Structure 1
Amino acid sequence: MSNAVSPLNGKSAEGFARVAEAGLKGMITIRADLASKGLAKALKALGLPVPALRRIEEGEARAIAWMSPDELLLICAYDEAAATAATLAEALAKEHALVTNVSDARAMFTVSGAKADEVLMKLSPVDFPKLAAGEMRRTRAAQVAAALWRSGPEELSLVCFRSVASYMFGLLEVSSRKGGEIS
């Protein structure tokens, strides 16, 4: 049996902001009617709400993000993703729903520091000064589809496909180099 590894083994870079691959993260895609009582009940059993439009609800051990009108992304510990996905699939068995463990198909990054926004301002068409805590954005970072949110007072988190993790890290690292600050 192989050992799971994150796309870039926790690689990080220091510039005017810190860029880091977040390591192994459990990620579960849930496709369903977001107004379904069955979905609300299944998530409540995990201590999670159904997030509002373009929102991410972060708890101590898990987060749940709105991704589209019929899609959510549950983020949890990597080693609990398979069991959590199975629990959700069983709870939603009578619903028109799809639950998929996508942990090995995604990569997650954090950009932190007082000028973290500036790193992503160069790559994404998002008004970062207006990006509120808990607001989820699906966008592009250069040529890469990404989802991002403000995960702390001076931190942004970003999820993309694992297949472009190296490219994404390169984009973030170059955008964070000292001397490249916007202000």
Structure 2
Amino acid sequence: MSEAMTALKNVRYDAGIATISEVGPLGMITIRGDLDAPFLRKVVKKVVGLDLPNRSMCNSDGASGVAWMSPDELMLMCPHAQVPEVLARLHAAFEDTHTLAVDVTGARAVFRVEGPHAREVLAKLAPVDLSPAQFTPGMFRRTRMGQVAAAFWLLDDGAFQVVCFRSVAQYMFDQLKGAAQPGSAVGHFKGT
């Protein structure tokens, strides 16, 4: 088996107002189906150990997580080495249902944005109200960052995780780095 590699080989930038680092490799599985179905909630809880999140939320615990992507889609995250086992368990559980589980790990790149100005860095790139009163830990958004589709969520430690397609990983890293350049703090979220 070949060694798993991230899109940018765990690149890191820490010379600015926030630290930008590539996360991974992180296993990601898309689940499509009826999110209101009791069996789906039960299966996800059993396989990942987390409840299904509410709309626009992400439940996470360490390297595991479940994010609400749309009314019929979830993104399940797990340690990369566990993807085959998790996927097999999901397929077995979904066998007789109209539910799909697909490994999308290789198609995605994940970045962590942390530091006292992490909110500000993301606010420069995404049309989302990131004020502390409006965007709290566990919240999840699918949006555009610059010119590309992306999603991000806020972790309990105040850091953000950003996921995008692997094909635009360098662009995403470069724009996050640009938004975090030294001296670029605007001070909009003072005291956060």
**TM-score (norm: length of structure 1):** 0.96
Residue 13 of structure 2 corresponds to residue 9 of structure 1 = no
Q: SS of the residue aligned with 2:98?
A: coil
- The ranges of structure 1 where at least 4 consecutive aligned residues each deviate by more than 3 angstroms after the TM superposition are none
Q: Percent identity?
A: 42
Contact 2:138-2:156 at 8 Å conserved across structures: no
- The Cα shift of 1:179 comes to 1.2
Amino acid at match of 1:30: I
Amino acid at match of 2:23: A
For residue 144 of structure 2, the aligned residue among 140, 163, 169 is 140
Once superposed, what is the RMSD of the aligned Cα atoms? 1.1
Question: CA separation in 2, counterparts of 1:149 and 1:2?
Answer: 30
Give the equivalent residue in structure 2 for 1:49: 51
Contact 1:38-1:95 at 8 Å conserved across structures: no
Mean CA deviation greater in 51-60 or 122-131: 51-60
Structure 2: gaps spanning 5 or more residues: 188-192
Q: Taking structure 1 as reference, are residues 60 and 121 closer, same or farther at Cα in structure 2, changes over 3 Å only?
A: closer
Structure 1: gaps spanning 5 or more residues: none
- The Cα shift of 1:174 comes to 0.8
Question: CA separation in 1, counterparts of 2:46 and 2:156?
Answer: 26
**TM-score (norm: length of structure 2):** 0.92
For residue 156 of structure 1, the aligned residue among 160, 164, 172 is 160
